[in-house]
Structure 1
Amino acid sequence: MTLRYSRKPFPAYRYIPGRQPHPTRDPDGHSYGSEPLELAQFDPADWHNCDEYLYAIDLLNHGYWWEAHESLEAIWLAAGQRTTQVGRFVQGLLQIGVGILKHHQEQEGGAQRLWQSGLDKISVRDPIYLGLDTRALQRSVRELINGERDALPELVLHFDKGNDKD
C-alpha cells in the first residue's frame, strides 16, 4: 500500500483530458468553482511542513498527474520559478508528472520531451533534495525515457535526511 503524506482528500476522479469533465472549467468538474491555489512562499528547508508539497507527492504517487501539476505549479511559482534551484527542481517534478499523463494519453512525443526536460531539472548534486532520493528518481525517469517502465515508482520522502538549501 502506498504511503500518504497529507490528510487532504483526493479528488473524486483522476482527470485525463478528453475522458472526464475538466476539473475547473466544467460545472461537473471535481474542482469547479474552487479558487486557484496560491502559496505566499515555499521554503526548501521547511518542505516537510508544506501541506501542498506533501499533497503533491501524494497525488503523483496515486496517479493524479493533472492534479499534481496544479499543486506543483503553485509551489513552483512560490519557489521563484526558474530563478532558483528549488524552482527548477519543482518544475522538473511537474514536467515528469505531466509526461506520465501524456504517456497515458498515448502522446509519446510530448511525454518524451517532458521527461527529458524534467530529468534535466531534477539533476542536482544533493543525494536527497526536498526529501526525495534524487539518484533513484533520476534513474526512474531514465527508465521512463528508455521505455523500461510506464510509471514512476512510489516517491518516498526522507524526513530525516538532507539539508535543503537554495
Structure 2
Amino acid sequence: MRSKPVSETARAQAAYRAAYEWPLPPEPYLPGLTKRPDSSDDVHRVAALAPDPTDPNAWRENAAYLAGFRLYNAGFGWEAHEVWEPVWMHAPPHGAERYLLQGLIQLANARLKFAMKRDRAGGRLVGIAAGLLELADYAARGEDVMGVDLPTLLGDTRLASDMPGRTPELHYNA
C-alpha cells in the first residue's frame, strides 16, 4: 500500500476540519415549522466549499461532501441536502458518483419529511433513494464510490423502506 503524499493528507485534514469543526445549528430547519436559516450561516458556508468539478477520487478533500454525512446523521435533513446539492451538481453526469449523491439527497429529503410528520412522502423518497443507489451500485460494478460501500447502503436503505418513518444511518470508509 502506498502512502499518501503529505499535500493530500493535509488537504484531507483541512476538509475534515471544515466539515466537522463548527457548531451544528441549534435546530433542524423544518419548512413551515421553524425559522429558515440565513444564507450566511455555517451550512451555506460549508456548501460553498464544494469543488467544481467534483472529483470522486478526492472525496476526502471535499468538505461539503463530508459535512453532509455529519448533518444527516445528526438529524439535519434539509441542511444535509443543502451541502450535498452543489457536490451533486458538480459531479460527472450519468456516473456512479452522481447517482450516489442523488440517492443521499433523497435520503436527506426523506429524513426531513419524517421529521415533519409526512410519513407517506418520506417513505416514497426512501424508495426513490433506493432506486438511485441501485443505479450507483450498477455503475460502480461492486466498487466503493466516494468512500461509500454501496451494497451495504443499498441493503440498509431497502430495510429502512420496510420500516415506516426510518432512514438508514450513513457512513463512509475512512
- Which of the residues 153, 157, 164 maps onto 1:141? 157
- Per-residue deviation, 1:148: 6.4
- Which of the residues 62, 70, 95 maps onto 2:82? 70
- Per-residue deviation, 1:90: 0.2
Alignment partner, residue 113 of structure 1? 124
More helix by proportion, 1 or 2? Answer: 2
2:164 & 2:31 partners in 1: Cα distance? 25
TM-score (norm 2): 0.74
2:115 & 2:27 partners in 1: Cα distance? 15
- Per-residue deviation, 1:136: 2.0
Alignment partner, residue 13 of structure 1? 27
Alignment partner, residue 57 of structure 1? 69
Post-superposition Cα deviations, 1:110-158, rounded to whole Å, max 9, x if no partner, equal 11221111111112133522111212211221122111672423x2321
What is the aligned residue count? 149
Structure 1 unaligned runs (5+)? Answer: 160-166
| RMSD over equivalenced CA pairs, Å | 2.6
Contact 1:127 1:135 in 2 (8 A): no
Q: Output the amino acid matched with 1:157.
A: Y
What SS does structure 2 have at the residue aligned with 1:147? coil
Structure 2 unaligned runs (5+)? Answer: 1-16
Change (3 A) 1:85 1:133: closer
- Per-residue deviation, 1:61: 1.3
Q: Percent identity?
A: 25
4+ residue runs over 3 A deviation: 34-39
Change (3 A) 1:84 1:50: same
- Per-residue deviation, 1:66: 0.4
Alignment partner, residue 157 of structure 1? 172
